Amino acid sequence: MSLSPNLALPPNLPVPIDDGACTHLTGTALPPIALASTSSAAIDLSSLQGLTIVFCYPRTGAPGENVPEAWNMIPGARGCSPQACSFRDTSAELHSLGVKHIFGLSTQDTPYQAEAKERLHLPYDLLSDEKLEWVQALKLPTFEWEGRKLVKRLAIAIEDGKIIKTWYPIFPPDQSAHEVIAWLKGEGK
């Protein structure tokens, strides 16, 4: 089976550099903000009990969309679908290691995310922070693309409404879930 053009990562992608934009997050209590989700019920991550993993991504591509070379040249931008699929493919293992909830989060709207969830066969919900409320409250790193502010790729471990670990930057994106698993098997839960 050949990979969709949005799933195959081109060679020589620029590697993102840790600019320290997430060092303030560990130990932070989440703000009580309800985010639209692909399950149709709004989710307030601050109210969830147990261990939650949220991976943030800039945007997934649409079916048939040609990814512009300019997007590939932004360090860390390319690879949203491969990151989502890494959590899809390891979700059973993540749950067996104590993760109660898994979510993907972007600034894309919920209908767009619902299409991606169905197309990629994701067993978890995608959350929309289209108004950037959660991103701004936590001071998450962002970048501009075609007039829109997008969240940079990162992953966050949350326990009982408090951030206990972050992964930033993430590269390559298709290894994101494996980094979480390594932490869970090592220093994590």
Model confidence pLDDT, tens digit, residues 54-86: 999 999 988 887 888 899 899 999 999 999 999
Contact 156, 183 (CB under 8 A): no
What's the topology of domain 34-60+74-185?
Answer: Glutaredoxin (3.40.30)
Amino acid 3: pLDDT: 40
- In sequence order, the 6+-apart residues with CB closer than 8 A to the CB of 56 are 104, 105, 106, 135, 140, 151, 152, 153, 154, 155, 156
Assess contact for 8 and 81: CB atoms under 8 A.
Answer: no
Q: What three-state secondary structure class fits 2?
A: coil
Which residue blocks in 43-175 are alpha helix, DSSP H?
69-72, 80-96, 110-120, 133-137
- The two structure tokens encoding residue 46: 């601050």
Q: What DSSP line would sit under 121-151, residue for residue?
A: T-SSEEEE-TT-HHHHHTT--EEEETTEEEE
pLDDT at 19: 97
Q: Average pLDDT over the chain, rounded to whole? A: 93
pLDDT above 90: residue 45: yes
pTM of the model: 0.93
Q: Domain-by-domain residue ranges, the chain?
A: 34-60+74-185
Q: Confidence band (pLDDT; 50, 70, 90) for 9?
A: confident
Predicted confidence (pLDDT) per residue in 148-157, tens digit: 999 999 999 9
Phi, psi of 34 (to 5 degrees): -85, 125
Query: CB–CB of 149/132 below 8 Å?
Result: yes
Determine how many CB atoms are found less than 10 A away from the CB of residue 21. 16
